[in-house]
Structure 1
Amino acid sequence: MNSISPRPYFILLLLCALLHGGCSCSSEAENRMNAVSFSRSSDEEEDETPPPAAPAPKKKAPAKAPVKPEVAKAADTKTAAPAAEEMPEAAAPPVNSKYAERRERIERLAKNPPADKGSEAQTKLEIIGEALADMITEKGEIPSAVRKDSRGNTLLGWRIDLLPYLGYQDLYDQFAVDKPWNDKQNLALAGKIPPVYQSPERKDEATNFLMAFGPTCAARASSPTSLDTVGRRSLSTIPLIVEADDAMSVSWVKPFDLEFNPAAPREGMGQLRGGSIFVVTADGKTHKVPPAITATEMTDFFVLGNGLDVRKFGDASNPDPAKVASGAASGNQVASNMTTANRPRSDAALGPALGETPAAGSRPGLAKLPIPDPKLSDDAEARIREIFADEFRAADSENRRSMLASMFVSNAEKLGDDPIQQFAMLSLAYQLAIKGKSPAIAKDAFERLNRQYEFDTINQQLQLLRFATENVARIPHARKDEFKQLAIQLWQISYDRNNFKAVDELFAIIETFARSQNDTQMLNRIAALRDQTAEARKVYVEIESQFLSLERPSFNPEGNLLVGRYLCLHRNQWQQGLPFLAKCSNPKIKDAALLELESPTAPAIQAEIGDMWWDAVAGFNPVEKKRIQSRAAQWYQAAVNGLPNNIERIKVQRNLEEYKKLYPDDKIAPLSPGIDTASR
């Protein structure tokens, strides 16, 4: 019988045992390796349950990433890595103490606001102004009213950008700043309005603190303005934030602000504080613009480059009634520092070149009444519309509107005992004349307003002239000259204020009326004057780009030459320009200016000054050369009759004859002491 030998089974069992033992050893080694590997990977991934510590390697291991605090707490103390091997926790970014303190002030103010709403508004704007100044300094630019992405979507505005500087970084981080302002996530945060943005009279999510923006302002609609453009020295004269009327209020997350209207400079402002307007300038300071400030000065304040310093008006919290009744005397003084319109003119080739002299009453007189409060004038207009309801209903054509406007102009004289009703009736007359396309009646209404109220701004008059130009055919021929003369006056004022944009527009308006009158002489004068003003504009743009002062010389000889050229050779303002030329880089011009500043009366020295100017024309363009030679001719003319009959007199006479040959149409204006000849 064959039996199966047990040996194969024994051998098979032995092999299994060996294999099982090998696998156990292998598994133990593999487990040990896996433990080390898991320990490293869990450290990198910051797992909540750290593995048991592996035996210290012989070589120095790379530093491990810091473990989160919650991981460290969850780790078993027996298995935690030695302290010497742990990295220190990353420090949180420090909170700016100034911004934190600013937030504390905001919250204290919200809990204990002052009883006076005006004081509360002013305090809030002061805090906003401080934060705004920090943001402008840090970013080097004045923010725009809105920002847009590459697709043209309107993003969040300056009020959101300002949050970190107000101490609300946590709220700022909740906004999706790369998404449109009306994105669902952004709109959901509207209810979290910081108290500093809440206007005192309202407790909702709307704010009255808006940015004043526009083409004439430092703040533009959708592009920031670099500080290199406006100059850091002028920040105190640049209005940015205003307290607007309730009708203009918007949700604080909505990037809609107040577009400044030069033709109606108080539009949207002044109803909350009895005519006063809180304004924050780009240096972060808050100012209270008084009701007595004229419309012209208000416009000048908001037009970039005019440099009207509102601080000179003082605080109008408790205005002197006598000053309010007499008009803005202090405002006129400030404006006179800004413009040369009130200075004696010696320029025979500017205003007089157009055949006119500026009107004596181009600035508001002290006896004028301030413009009435808008609410009062609105009420008066409503009463007039009620009384003349039938006439208004019948005014359904241009002709009938013109007739009603003419009637209101006449009837306004009967309302002398009530200046508010008179103002309202004249305003209605002006509006009806515009709708009736009757420039002559509109001008009559405007002039009545101008005589009695502080109503005359350059922009409002310019608007009237634009309307008249579009409807020149409707103006009686006998009255067209009135509009031309008004345009000439505004041209002169605009030129004196270096408002070259208005100058160009007024040239076109004057030409329109000159053509309607077949005034070829005026058209020729304008053509010649365009070239002169174009050269002046080039120099003035260069002065602006270098932030040079037109008030006093600097330590920059080249800059002094540039300003002196502009004032003397382009503006014919020698009294203002000679001190600059006396410190300029051109030696011949400098010597002539220094000697002229001595105000000599001896004919021989006067002739010498003429020679110095006559020989200083090298390097100047034709317009400037003519002005230099004209100045020389003035000195020659002053000296010639007092010179003895010698060779020097012959030389002076020959140069005078040469000048008359070069410029046969020009008369040599006499030197006027105190105007043309500057004194020390």
Structure 2
Amino acid sequence: MPSPEDQKRAEATVRELFKKELSEAKLPAQKLALADKLFQEAQATKDDPAAAYVLFGMASALAAAGGDLTTSIEMIETAAGRFEMNSASLKLDVLNKALPGLRSGPQPALLAYELADLALNVMEDAILTDQIELAVEAYKLASGIVKRSGDNDLTQEVLSRNHCIQVFQKQYEAFRAAEKQLSVHPDDPAAHATLGRWHCFLKGLWEKGLPHLARAQPAELAALAQADLQSPENPKEQFQLAERWLQYAESESEEAKGHIQLRAAHWYRQALPDLSGLEKLTAQKQLEKLPTVPPLFTRRERGEVVPGNVALQIAGAQVTGTNTTGTYLIDGAISESSIARGTSPVTWTIVLPKLYRLREIRLLLVDPHRVRPRHYGYIIAVSKDGKRFVPLVDRSKGQWMGWQVIDFPARPVRAIQLIGLRESGER
């Protein structure tokens, strides 16, 4: 990361170069436009690290000031890919500065959702980088405001992380003490055991933790880790390694057991294609019983970010619903000959080919006859799993016509439900 002196010099230069734009960026849209401009400049600046760093920071701050917290966070993540920086701390700072908007902003429920959702992501990032105090702060932010979002799924997700954060808090002091001990006594087996358990059994970071477990006590655990580090290719050895991990899991705490069982499942899956007889049957049965996600800590599904329209039939999207004209919603054509229609109420569900992170939905309400303007009423709901839907926008009242652009805080979406409630022509 550039020195404070270089940052100060670069900031003075950037502010002078963009003096006019910075003074004129008063409205949210103007701030967002300038944020994008500075972000593009930051990415293009290769020969002046200090200037690039300052440009990233100013772009992120402007995006947040313009009301787009998700973009602000994404800009920090891009900068973190280029500079060594505490990105989790910077992200949390952005979220804390946005909290007053819950009292004075125009859409407090949407802001509460975005803040809680992003705070959970910061909590995960902080745990993975061993910044537990920061993770606790992020969790407190999320848990303190999530109910204001009105989103039951997100509320339950936040509350379900309470046990996770408590476990990491409880183990954190021992983890730091073990790190300090190894800096003085690098062969201490007890300290290696503590670090290995922290990374493997609590976080599931086996590549980082196995070298510690291989030097740990008890000897049984060290031998097991050493065998795992050998990455056996023989299916019988892989099967035996899975069996050993599964047996060892019974000697550990409930918090640790989940990741150990997942490690056993990993080796069962590696061995299964080349096994036969009772070993094959055993591996199949164990895989049916073993968990697929750890009970304590796993990263959230955030959804893939793809520019452009992902709700297209040619991209793999599908439609189910009241009638087959719903396929016109995803054919990519905008013409009067390809209109989804039906007698209200009508419901269509667009199922996307994978989980995407969406922030905008566009819908064209067509007036096919043009004799007199037609208006519509509708509701849009979204789902992360294609089963449980959360209302996104309720436009059952009012006169809605033409292009509908629904902007919302970025969220993972697998399915979109469109409910047509009324139309002035009663069709």
Q: TM-score, normalised by structure 2?
A: 0.52
Letter of the structure 1 residue corresponding to residue 163 of structure 2: D
Q: Does 1:644 align with 2:276?
A: yes
Match 1:505 to one of 122, 134, 137:
137
Q: Which residue of 2 aligns with 1:440?
A: 67
Judged with a 3 Å threshold, the aligned counterparts in structure 2 of structure 1 residues 510 and 372 are, in CA distance, closer, same or farther, namely farther
Q: Distance in 2 between matches of 1:558 and 1:613?
A: 20
Q: How much does 1:488 deviate?
A: 3.6
Q: Does 1:617 align with 2:244?
A: no
Q: Which residue of 2 aligns with 1:373?
A: 10
Letter of the structure 2 residue corresponding to residue 373 of structure 1: A
Q: Does 1:472 align with 2:102?
A: yes
Q: Deviations over 1:404-450 (max 9, x none)?
A: 45445446778899998xx79x959958x99xxx6716776787798
Letter of the structure 2 residue corresponding to residue 620 of structure 1: E
- Contact 2:202–2:297 under 8 Å retained in 1: no
Classify the secondary structure of the residue corresponding to 1:492: helix
> Which structure would you say has the larger Rg?
1
Classify the secondary structure of the residue corresponding to 2:220: helix
Q: Distance in 1 between matches of 2:290 and 2:283?
A: 11
Alignment of 1:365-444 (within 5 A): 372-376=9-13, 384=20, 403-404=26-27, 406-410=29-33, 440=67
Judged with a 3 Å threshold, the aligned counterparts in structure 2 of structure 1 residues 470 and 600 are, in CA distance, closer, same or farther, namely same
Q: How much does 1:624 deviate?
A: 0.6
Judged with a 3 Å threshold, the aligned counterparts in structure 2 of structure 1 residues 456 and 638 are, in CA distance, closer, same or farther, namely closer
Q: Which residue of 1 aligns with 2:92?
A: 462
- Contact 1:582–1:594 under 8 Å retained in 2: yes
Classify the secondary structure of the residue corresponding to 1:600: coil
Q: Deviations over 1:344-401 (max 9, x none)?
A: xxxxxxxxxxxxxxxxxxxxxxxxxx675354456678x659x96xx8xxxxxxxxxx
Judged with a 3 Å threshold, the aligned counterparts in structure 2 of structure 1 residues 520 and 638 are, in CA distance, closer, same or farther, namely farther
Q: Which residue of 1 aligns with 2:155?
A: 523
Alignment of 1:51-130 (within 5 A): none
Alignment of 1:158-173 (within 5 A): none
Match 1:656 to one of 266, 284, 287:
287
More strand per residue: 2
Classify the secondary structure of the residue corresponding to 2:275: coil
- Contact 1:592–1:612 under 8 Å retained in 2: yes
Q: How much does 1:475 deviate?
A: 5.7
Q: Which residue of 1 aligns with 2:177?
A: 545
Q: Where does the alignment leave 5 or more consecutive residues of structure 1 unmatched?
A: 1-264, 276-290, 292-369, 392-401, 668-680
- Contact 2:89–2:134 under 8 Å retained in 1: no
- Contact 2:261–2:290 under 8 Å retained in 1: yes
Q: Does 1:603 align with 2:235?
A: yes
Q: Distance in 2 between matches of 1:558 and 1:408?
A: 53
Judged with a 3 Å threshold, the aligned counterparts in structure 2 of structure 1 residues 622 and 372 are, in CA distance, closer, same or farther, namely same
Q: How much does 1:570 deviate?
A: 0.9
Alignment of 1:350-361 (within 5 A): none
Q: Distance in 2 between matches of 1:644 and 1:530?
A: 43
Classify the secondary structure of the residue corresponding to 1:373: helix
Q: Distance in 2 between matches of 1:610 and 1:570?
A: 19
Q: Distance in 2 between matches of 1:501 and 1:666?
A: 17
Judged with a 3 Å threshold, the aligned counterparts in structure 2 of structure 1 residues 451 and 609 are, in CA distance, closer, same or farther, namely closer
Judged with a 3 Å threshold, the aligned counterparts in structure 2 of structure 1 residues 411 and 638 are, in CA distance, closer, same or farther, namely closer
Judged with a 3 Å threshold, the aligned counterparts in structure 2 of structure 1 residues 625 and 377 are, in CA distance, closer, same or farther, namely same
Q: Distance in 2 between matches of 1:562 and 1:665?
A: 17
Judged with a 3 Å threshold, the aligned counterparts in structure 2 of structure 1 residues 603 and 475 are, in CA distance, closer, same or farther, namely farther
Q: Which residue of 1 aligns with 2:213?
A: 581
- Contact 2:175–2:194 under 8 Å retained in 1: yes
Q: Distance in 2 between matches of 1:650 and 1:482?
A: 46
- Contact 2:262–2:294 under 8 Å retained in 1: no
Judged with a 3 Å threshold, the aligned counterparts in structure 2 of structure 1 residues 403 and 378 are, in CA distance, closer, same or farther, namely closer
Q: TM-score, normalised by structure 1?
A: 0.34
Q: Distance in 2 between matches of 1:587 and 1:634?
A: 23
Q: Distance in 2 between matches of 1:417 and 1:630?
A: 44
Q: Distance in 2 between matches of 1:592 and 1:449?
A: 40
Judged with a 3 Å threshold, the aligned counterparts in structure 2 of structure 1 residues 411 and 491 are, in CA distance, closer, same or farther, namely closer
Q: Distance in 2 between matches of 1:565 and 1:450?
A: 28
* Greater relative contact order structure (CA < 8 Å, 6+ sep): 2
Q: Distance in 1 between matches of 2:136 and 2:250?
A: 30
Alignment of 1:13-32 (within 5 A): none
Judged with a 3 Å threshold, the aligned counterparts in structure 2 of structure 1 residues 566 and 508 are, in CA distance, closer, same or farther, namely same
Q: How much does 1:538 deviate?
A: 3.1
Judged with a 3 Å threshold, the aligned counterparts in structure 2 of structure 1 residues 562 and 660 are, in CA distance, closer, same or farther, namely closer
- Contact 1:543–1:563 under 8 Å retained in 2: yes
Q: Distance in 1 between matches of 2:260 and 2:217?
A: 16
Q: Which residue of 1 aligns with 2:201?
A: 569
Classify the secondary structure of the residue corresponding to 1:616: helix
- Contact 1:629–1:659 under 8 Å retained in 2: yes
Q: Which residue of 1 aligns with 2:260?
A: 628
Judged with a 3 Å threshold, the aligned counterparts in structure 2 of structure 1 residues 417 and 508 are, in CA distance, closer, same or farther, namely closer
Q: How much does 1:497 deviate?
A: 1.9
Q: Distance in 2 between matches of 1:428 and 1:600?
A: 48
Judged with a 3 Å threshold, the aligned counterparts in structure 2 of structure 1 residues 598 and 460 are, in CA distance, closer, same or farther, namely closer
Judged with a 3 Å threshold, the aligned counterparts in structure 2 of structure 1 residues 487 and 601 are, in CA distance, closer, same or farther, namely same
Q: Deviations over 1:159-181 (max 9, x none)?
A: xxxxxxxxxxxxxxxxxxxxxxx
Q: Deviations over 1:21-76 (max 9, x none)?
A: xxxxxxxxxxxxxxxxxxxxxxxxxxxxxxxxxxxxxxxxxxxxxxxxxxxxxxxx
Letter of the structure 2 residue corresponding to residue 656 of structure 1: L
- Contact 1:603–1:642 under 8 Å retained in 2: yes
Q: Deviations over 1:612-662 (max 9, x none)?
A: 11111354211112222222222223323422113x344434433443599
Alignment of 1:291-370 (within 5 A): 291=6
Judged with a 3 Å threshold, the aligned counterparts in structure 2 of structure 1 residues 458 and 507 are, in CA distance, closer, same or farther, namely same
Q: Distance in 1 between matches of 2:201 and 2:70?
A: 36
Q: How much does 1:481 deviate?
A: 5.3
- Contact 1:409–1:445 under 8 Å retained in 2: no
Q: Distance in 2 between matches of 1:644 and 1:487?
A: 47
Q: Distance in 2 between matches of 1:462 and 1:567?
A: 24
Q: Distance in 1 between matches of 2:232 and 2:59?
A: 59
Classify the secondary structure of the residue corresponding to 1:498: coil
Letter of the structure 2 residue corresponding to residue 469 of structure 1: L
Q: Distance in 2 between matches of 1:584 and 1:456?
A: 30
Q: Distance in 2 between matches of 1:658 and 1:536?
A: 27
Q: Distance in 1 between matches of 2:193 and 2:227?
A: 16
Q: Where does the alignment leave 5 or more consecutive residues of structure 2 unmatched?
A: 46-50, 299-427
RMSD: 4.7
- Contact 1:604–1:643 under 8 Å retained in 2: yes
